[in-house]
Amino acid sequence: MPHTRWTLALLALSQLITALDFFIVVVALPDIGSDLGFSAQSLQWVSSAYAVAYGGFLLLGGRLADLAGRRRMFVAALALFALSSLAAGLATGPAALVVIRAVQGLGGALLFPATLSLVNTLFEEGRARNAALAVWSGAGASGLALGSLLGGLLTGAFGWEAVFYVNVPLAVLAIAAAYALIPSDGPRERGRRLDLPGAVLATAGVSLLAFALIQGPESGWDSAPVLGAFVAATVLLAAFVAVERGSGDPLMPLRLFRNRSLTPAIVVILVFGGTFNALPYFLTVYFQTVLGYGVVTTGLAFLLPSLLIALGTQLGGRLAGRIGMRATLLIGTLGGAAGTALLALGVSEGGSYWSALPGIVVMGVSQGFTWTGMWIAAATGVAPAQQGVASGMASTALQVGSAIGLAVLVAVGGVGEATGAALAGGVRTAVLVAAAGMLLGALVSLAFARKARPGLRPAVV
């Protein structure tokens, strides 16, 4: 197919849309809260409703991509995302917006594994796929800066509704391009069916786990709703494993855990979510509350880290092709630990952006190495027919790890209740604990095979 580069550009745009939505809404939350009448306690659910649905449906989204067809799911997910974004901008009350955000999270959960599995099946394992994943990863990294900047600019110029409306033309453009650039799926494979009991148990279990992890810091870890959600999630996920063992066509084939690349990759992704992925929250707190930056200035402050992460994703893709993903992940996680520790040294009540900059530079590039390397590892050795569910497993691990990590780091640093010097100290403590967690990722990286990655191969489209 002659449109390989344009196809990759389309998949990168899809990743940008997903990443953008995580950050662009956060900036608009104060305006949304005051305009629609949210309470201080309920406002967080504008973000949390999306996160719970997104985390809960990722595994189902991955399996549907394998069964129904990746292009079909890509287009359907984009359509759902566009319609829910339009509805979010038109929302007139808190309850309606929270429900719509959950639907938008469902759209994102269907879109992410469809996109990632398309990258992994359209580009052959080795340097071609590594390079494609680097571009895809770089688009996601740019969402951090663009989301923060666009969120401030759009809210200031057009109102909070614009942060939702901006998704609509992007999604419509991507849908139109999909029919021209992505190969058709062909007929559905006969004899394959959706494991409905497994789908219900996995979605409910992961959603309840995500709810408990997100709501725990707000309601208290010993509150009845949080404890009940943890217990129910444990029971449902245990039942899910039992169902999968006896299923002839399981939602998540347990034999995939015998893949010597996918299993350690999932652990590295969990660690990444709990460490690297949690750091933007603490940087936001530091920039806005300790250094006194406004919304637009904070967005500008994230521009350099985002560019460095994007640079790291490109270098990581090249390194994985030359020295292997094991060495690439070791460099990324160890470099991340060193950079994050250096960042902690620059965080203080009387500090500045410049005092934090050395750590931001090392951490940002290392994060890019790790991000690209872990997705390469998660796809290695997985059959094309199972790339969707493998992508769903890996992305679910990222969401669960992010929720666990943020909850733990906020609690360890006491960031939610501190002010002044105590707040700066809490941010520093949380950042140091994140650096220690990255060392765990380095240890897990040793489990990957030492063999070099294959040489350059042509893309298969």
* Confidence (pLDDT) at 461: 29
pTM for the complete prediction?
0.86
Using CB atoms within 10 A of its CB, is residue 68 exposed (0-12), middle (13-18) or buried (19+)? middle
Closest CA to 409 of 383, 380, 390, 433: 433
Q: What is residue 287's DSSP assignment?
A: I
Q: What is residue 248's DSSP assignment?
A: S
Q: Which residues 6+ apart lie within 8 Å of 376 measured at CB?
A: 129, 130, 133, 317, 320, 325, 328
Could you read off the pLDDT of 416-430 as tens digits, one per residue?
666 777 888 889 999
Place of tokens 């992010």: 402
* Confidence (pLDDT) at 2: 44
* Confidence (pLDDT) at 196: 83
Spatial separation of the C-alpha atoms in residues 439 and 271, rounded to whole Å: 9
The tokens for 266 are 């999932």
Closest CA to 114 of 168, 58, 169: 58
Q: Which residues 6+ apart lie within 8 Å of 330 measured at CB?
A: 442, 445, 446
In the chain, what are the domains? 1-180 (1.20.1250.20), 196-252 (no CATH), 258-451 (1.20.1250.20)
The tokens for 423 are 């707040």
* Confidence (pLDDT) at 380: 87
* Confidence (pLDDT) at 210: 86
Closest CA to 61 of 107, 18, 16: 107
267 alpha carbon, distance to own chain's centre: 15
Residues in the chain where the model's pLDDT stays below 70: 1-3, 40-41, 144-145, 187-192, 416-418, 451-461
Spatial separation of the C-alpha atoms in residues 404 and 188, rounded to whole Å: 37
Could you read off the pLDDT of 222-266 as tens digits, one per residue?
899 999 999 999 999 999 999 988 877 788 888 888 888 899 999
